[in-house]
Amino acid sequence: QVQLVESGGGLVQPGGSLRLSCVASGTFFSLYNMAWYRQAPGKQRELVARIDRSHSTNYADSVKGRFTISRDNAKNTVYLQMNSLKPEDTAVYYCNRESTPTLWGKGTLVTVSS
């Protein structure tokens, strides 16, 4: 069964950094567009960053210049490097495979607090 497994979340102080990883099982990882979403308490899930098969990227305005999405197709992994973290970045971060049907990981919690 194909799965997405996120890791790398945790507690970090404002201004700190974290790197999230998402490992995909199964084959043909390189053929899929991948994305990171997040959901803060009481809010809707929102797109954070997306990377397509050609490694083109796009970002939510709120994270531009601070977050970087990348992928390593040899490792079936997509990353989210998060720098200059703010308390408003606190959320559960989910990995997503753009496919039919779409595929979601279970999420990893990021808490930004002093």
Find the mean pLDDT for residues 95-101.
93
**Length of the chain in terms of residues written:** 114
Tokens 């996120």 — which residue?
A: 6
Residue 53: band (very low, low, confident or very high) from pLDDT cuts 50, 70, 90: very high
pLDDT at 90 over 90: yes
In sequence order, the β-bridge partners of residue 46 are: 38
Find the mean pLDDT for residues 9-14.
98
- Token pair of 1 as six digits: 């069964």
Find the mean pLDDT for residues 13-32.
95
Find the mean pLDDT for residues 21-46.
95
- Token pair of 61 as six digits: 């305005």
> How many Å separate Cα 95 from the centre of its chain?
5
Task: Give yes or no for a contact between 104 and 2, defined as CB atoms under 8 angstroms apart.
Answer: no
Tens of pLDDT, residue by residue over 67-79, are: 999 999 999 999 9
The SS3 of residue 89 is helix
- Token pair of 23 as six digits: 């490992």
Is the peptide bond preceding residue 101 cis, with omega within 30 degrees of 0?
yes
